[in-house]
Amino acid sequence: MIRVGDDYDVVIGNGVLDQVVQHVPDGAQRILIVHAPVLAEAAGSVAAAASAAGLTPYVEELPDAEAAKTADVAVRLWSVLAQAGFTRTDAVIAIGGGATTDLGGFVAATWLRGVPVVQVPTTVLGMVDAAVGGKTGINIPEGKNLVGSFHPPAAVVCDLDLLRTLPHTDLVAGMAEVIKCGFIADPRILELAADADAATDVAASVLPELISRAVQVKADVVSADLREAGLREILNYGHTFAHAVEQVSGFRWRHGDAVAVGMVYVAELSRRAGLIDEELVAQHRLALQAVGLPTAYPVDGDVDERWTALRAAMGRDKKTRGSTLRFVALTGIAQPTRLTGPDERLLRAAYDAVRE
């Protein structure tokens, strides 16, 4: 169990799904359980446990992946809460990947200005990133996570058994956020992830350690900076370019794949800005390729037009101030810094270095 500041616990283990209802705060009478489409059985188990505990469960299936993170879906769930008479002492439980926990947390944050939420991430990405930290949000056509709220959960329950049904491609994509934690804070992660077969094997002991270490990195950072006033921005390493890639693709790119390419992009940018050497750039590519993540950005069409679209999307990044782009960068492994207002020629050169 990992404690996030004085706020909540992250429970990591096998067979802990039956503990979820125990983390619903006292006083709740009604529970809204939202779940990804493939997790109806898990949602049913939690609903049965809620009923046994004297709670009234309401179960709602969400659209798959990023399709869940829309204003229309949020409105539908608000209507469910209204019609069921949910009060401030009632709660939400979100079971699924990062999109599900983002949406579930956002609905909880905005209903009656905030009701408790218990996050149950079921993907590597959700466990190490989306569900921990209290950041919630939805997407709009102009960008990802532009509408959202900080809303710390009552608890996060990570049942590693649920990873056994995860497609291997999704498991690999989630490793991007794990490796990110290695570069920004915990070099041991990079050493463990070098054994790619073990790192992506749900039955091996390496993956649980990687998840625990990545959660600990995020917990430490979040505890020191709940609302992203400064330090917490380091968790966005690689995300400026990644979010642009996702937006320009219409969110067809997996988040983890985009983050992997985004880390290579900012490494190439940092080298050109004189912050790191070529060896560290190469280490990014090796670490990501070892577990099967992409390190290049394919461009099918006009190269210049694609760059124009990506550059415009980066200008809407949450770290941007006015017209000045701000990147999380490194001066070395576990030595994060900020790169503010890099020259446009360097931005384009880094794009040319990662495109194919």
Among candidate residues 151, 41, 50, the one with its CA nearest the CA of residue 104: 151
13 is in an annotated binding site: no
Is residue 263 a contact partner of residue 284, using CB atoms and an 8 Å limit?
Answer: yes
Q: Does 228 qualify as catalytic in the annotation?
A: yes
Catalytic (active site) residue 239: yes
Q: Has 23 been labeled as part of a binding site?
A: no
Instruction: For residue 100, say whether it is annotated as part of any ligand binding site.
Output: yes
Catalytic site residue from 61, 228, 316, 318: 228
142 assigned to a ligand binding site: no
Say whether 101 counts as a known binding-site residue: yes
Q: Is 352 annotated as a binding residue?
A: no
* Catalytic status, residue 236: yes
Catalytic residue among 35, 151, 243, 326: 243
Is 243 known to be catalytic?
Answer: yes
User: Out of 23, 35, 151, 232, which one is annotated catalytic?
Assistant: 232
Contact 356, 296 (CB under 8 A): yes
Q: Which residues, at least 6 apart from 111, have a Cβ–Cβ distance to it below 8 Å? A: 78, 81, 86, 92
| 66 among annotated binding-site residues | yes
Give whole-number Cα distances, 223 to 145, 215, 231, 252, 319, in Å: 21, 12, 10, 32, 20
Q: Between the CA of residue 247 and those of 140, 221, 237, 254, 313, what are the distances in Å?
A: 10, 27, 17, 11, 7
Q: From the candidates 23, 30, 151, 218, which is the catalytic residue?
A: 218
CB 95 within 8 A of CB 70: no
Q: Flag whether 64 is marked binding.
A: yes
Q: How many CB atoms lie within 10 A of CB 120?
A: 33
Catalytic residue among 23, 35, 135, 271: 135
Strand 30-35 with 91-96, pairing: parallel
Q: Is there a binding annotation on residue 67?
A: yes
239 carries a ligand binding annotation: yes
User: Could you tell me if 261 and 245 are in contact, meaning their C-beta atoms sit under 8 angstroms apart?
Assistant: yes
Q: 135 labelled as ligand-binding?
A: yes
Catalytic residue, from 151, 180, 236, 306: name it.
236
Catalytic residue among 255, 272, 306, 326: 255
Active-site pick, 35, 177, 268, 285: 177
Residue numbering of the annotated binding site for NAD(+) = 64-69, 98-102, 122-123, 135, 144
Residue numbering of the annotated binding site = 64-69, 98-102, 122-123, 135, 144, 177, 239, 255
For the annotated catalytic residues, the residue numbers are 113, 135, 177, 218, 228, 232, 236, 239, 243, 255
Residue numbering of the annotated binding site for Zn(2+) = 177, 239, 255
